[in-house]
Amino acid sequence: MAKPIVGHLDAFFFEVCSEIRAGLQAAYGTANPFTLAISATGSGGMETAVANFVEPGSKFVVFANGFFCDRLTEMGKRHGATVVRCEKPWGETFTDEEAREVILREKPNTIAFVHAETSAGALNSGYAICAAAREVGALVIADCVTSLGAMPINIDEMGVDVAYSCSQKGMSCPPGLSPMTVSPRALEWLKTRQSPKDTWYFDLSLLADYFEGARRYHHTAPITSFYALYEALQSIEEEGLQNRFDRHHRNHLAFVAGVEAMGLTMHVAEGHRLWTLNTPRVPEGIDDLKVRQRLMAQHGIEIAGGFGPLAGKVFRIGLMGVLSTEADVLFLLEAFQAALEAEGFVSKGSGVEAARAVYAEAAVAA
């Protein structure tokens, strides 16, 4: 990011964008030519997806089981859609049968789900959603904000039409960019959209003309942020994408083993958990805010609390990107257990020792 800044119409900048496209295609698991980074945060990517692919008066189905599904809902309403919510409690996920039933019943124009629901720590599979969407001719939008660069997404295999993410989570960059990918099918739909778009800045047709077409000026891109994303993608390539996925999975399993050894339980069922965002439940009688304050004051560790219906009920603990390492997991578990015990929690066992056992088993298997 300390490299000299070139102009936003400079040929070198577009070379960087081309390299970014290739890296994002690998991370997303897609061959979509239209893959780029929007000059906006992840919420800007969300707004871009909804503004372009949800028309006024259309039916928009949202699979809702967390805060960011609610944000999708609100954006859909503001863009004039008739929003139908398929709801689950935060942290629970949808079965294939539930997804298929609601889509075939409602026959929506566009569908949205959150692949990695940050508010609850839940991973939502989109395979059944996308398969049913094809049957009714609907487009599918996926929120990959907390999975890109750290978990397999497989956009093409899944059948997602539009996906967006952010730069600061699994990519380990400063915030400010939203990596997006759009399928050829969705681009064809965009060309035949009947109603005018009610956005200028997030109009994908204009952005395409800037990034991939005539290089016509659209906005002043944050050059240094693009440099950072380029370097992050180079780091992923050097590590190896599968190695990176394996690292996140291994550290997630070690962390879960650690908190369960202490006597905590995970909020999300096994097999449906994010590797990047862990949500152990707050033990009975423990004030989660005091635990979090202790971690910050004594160890410089910041973890988040639950909000909405999960306020005071879960801890939200990120292990992603450069912070997902064995050393960080062991350090975190030791400090976390000490903070809990200082607030009156009686541990059943050592979280650190349980995590070390996971690492030892993984080393033998390798």
Q: For the segment 187-196, what is each residue's pLDDT rounded down to a tens digit? A: 999 999 989 9
Instruction: State which amino acid sits at residue 105.
Output: R
User: Which band of pLDDT confidence, cut at 50, 70 and 90, is reported for residue 339?
Assistant: very high
What pLDDT is recorded for position 9?
86
Q: Which residue, among 165, 167, 109, has the nearest Cα to 133 in the 3D structure?
A: 109
User: Which band of pLDDT confidence, cut at 50, 70 and 90, is reported for residue 359?
Assistant: very high
HSE, CB side, 13 Å, CA atoms: give it for residue 245.
12
> Going by C-beta distance under 8 Å and a sequence separation of 6 or more, which residues neighbour residue 64?
70, 72, 73, 85, 86, 87, 88
Quote the CA–CA distance of 66 and 63 in Å, as a whole number. Answer: 9
What pLDDT is recorded for position 146?
97
Enter the tokens of residue 320: 């992603």
- Per-residue pLDDT, averaged over 156-161, amounts to 98
- For the cut 90, the answer to whether the pLDDT of residue 106 exceeds it is yes
| CATH of the domain spanning 11-238 | 3.40.640.10
What pLDDT is recorded for position 216?
87
Q: Which tens digits make up the pLDDT trace of 222-232?
A: 999 999 999 99
Quote the CA–CA distance of 133 and 185 in Å, as a whole number. Answer: 13
For 241-365, the fitting CATH number among 3.40.50.620, 3.20.20.140, 3.90.1150.10, 3.40.109.10 is 3.90.1150.10
What pLDDT is recorded for position 365?
85
Domain locations along the chain: 11-238, 241-365
DSSP string, 63-101: EESSHHHHHHHHHHHHTT-EEEEEE--TT----HHHHHH
State phi, psi for 179 to the nearest 5 degrees.
-65, 130
User: Which band of pLDDT confidence, cut at 50, 70 and 90, is reported for residue 274?
Assistant: very high
Contact present, 254 and 273 (Cβ < 8 Å): no
- Per-residue pLDDT, averaged over 62-88, amounts to 97
- For the cut 80, the answer to whether the pLDDT of residue 213 exceeds it is no
Q: What's the order of all strands across the beta sheet hosting 82-87?
A: 34-38, 178-182, 162-164, 139-143, 110-114, 59-64, 82-87
- Per-residue pLDDT, averaged over 195-203, amounts to 94
- For the cut 80, the answer to whether the pLDDT of residue 56 exceeds it is yes
Quote the CA–CA distance of 133 and 108 in Å, as a whole number. Answer: 8
What pLDDT is recorded for position 212?
82
Q: Which residue, among 1, 35, 224, 227, has the nearest Cα to 148 in the 3D structure?
A: 35
Q: Which tens digits make up the pLDDT trace of 237-256?
A: 999 999 999 999 999 999 99
